Amino acid sequence: MRFPKANCTTLLAVLQRYVRLGYAVLPLVPGEKRPHFRLAPHGLKEATRDPATITRWWRSCPEAGVGILAPEGVLVLDVDQGEVWEALRRDFPALEAAPRQKTPKGGVHLFLRLPEGVKLSASVRALEGVDLRGMGRAYVVAAPTRLADGRGYTWEVPLTPPEALPPVPQGLLLKLLLPPPPPRPAWTPVEGTSPKRLRALLEAYADRVARTPEGQRHNTLIRYAVAAGGLLPHGLDLREAEEALVAAAMSTGLPEKEARAAVEWGLEKGRQRPLVLPSPRLVLSIRRRLREGGKRHGRA
């Protein structure tokens, strides 16, 4: 059944508002969540902010649902159940202020702003019951879409432009950047691991952090903080590791508070998954073989 002309006009006004706020839209099969195979045969790639295209799509099929594609710097948390959302806002009260819409299943879509340069994979399910959408790579179904059973999507907190969105809470961001690792087998420290060797590894990690380009600072800092944490059970000093990595991160332009929170979290995660270091004897043996091989081939 086609919508009355007045209702189609109202729908187009809603779509144009999404566009003015900075979000691309995509027509969906009526009553479903998948892209409209006739209007948008290439699916997500055809999401647009072009008013003429949007008008043509929904004039052609006023019953089509609405998909929203958030730009690269916007993360949408697709929380599939109400109890998961309750736990999230209990742990991160700042999420209450984020634009959100209620889904037919009782979950929510939360719109948040990522720190500059941070990139997440939409394919990673870092939190149980939560999918990562938006970021220019994954759309969400949006109001006023209704599914075949009549249930619809409604805004509980109105959508805002990307620059006005609240940032992802720091603690939540750290969980999303690096999901908890699977349990590791039993581990024992390497005998004879000297403080000098541990310090050399820490300095190498800090050097990599300090030389990270702007778009990769968060991810790289987390990665090497976890690696340094893996050296703590071998005897690396916790305070020394923290200060070295924080200083390296600050030298790239990251604020101290942000860098320190990331390092503390990464070190603790790394402590739980110690690095497997080769024994000093094995290292010496490998170096000796490399030197001997070089001499046989005429290299100094």
- pLDDT, one tens digit per residue, over 221-237 is 998 999 999 888 888 88
Q: In whole angstroms, give the CA distance from residue 78 to residue 122.
A: 11
Q: What confidence tens digit (pLDDT) does each residue in 95-131 have?
A: 999 999 999 989 999 999 998 878 776 656 668 889 8
218 and 262 Cβ atoms separated by less than 8 Å: yes
In the chain, what are the domain boundaries?
5-177, 178-300
Nearest C-alpha neighbor of 229 from the set 207, 247, 248, 205: 205
Of 1-15, 93-107, 159-173, 233-247, minimum mean pLDDT range: 1-15
Of 21-35, 169-183, 186-200, 242-256, minimum mean pLDDT range: 186-200
Question: So what's the pLDDT on residue 182?
Answer: 47
- Pairwise pLDDT comparison (256 vs 169), residue with the higher score: 169
178 and 269 Cβ atoms separated by less than 8 Å: yes
Question: pLDDT tier at 3 (50, 70, 90 boundaries)?
Answer: very low
- Tokens 């742990």 belong to 91
225 and 262 Cβ atoms separated by less than 8 Å: yes
Q: Which CATH number fits domain 5-177: 1.10.287, 2.50.20, 1.10.3470, 3.30.2250?
A: 3.30.2250
Nearest C-alpha neighbor of 262 from the set 228, 215, 211: 228
Mean pLDDT rounded to a whole number for the chain: 84
Of 11-20, 85-94, 156-165, 280-289, minimum mean pLDDT range: 280-289
Helix (H), strand (E) at residue 266: helix 256-271
- Tokens 């969400």 belong to 140
Highest mean pLDDT among 7-16, 86-95, 168-177, 271-280: 86-95
Helix (H), strand (E) at residue 84: helix 82-91
* b/e burial code for range 151-186 (CB count within 10 A of at least 16 → b): ebbeeeeebeebeebbebbbebbbbbbbeeeeeeee
Question: pLDDT tier at 214 (50, 70, 90 boundaries)?
Answer: confident
Evaluate if residue 22 carries a pLDDT over 90.
yes
Tell me the pTM.
0.63
Question: So what's the pLDDT on residue 26?
Answer: 95
Question: So what's the pLDDT on residue 279?
Answer: 59
Evaluate if residue 299 carries a pLDDT over 60.
no
Evaluate if residue 1 carries a pLDDT over 80.
no
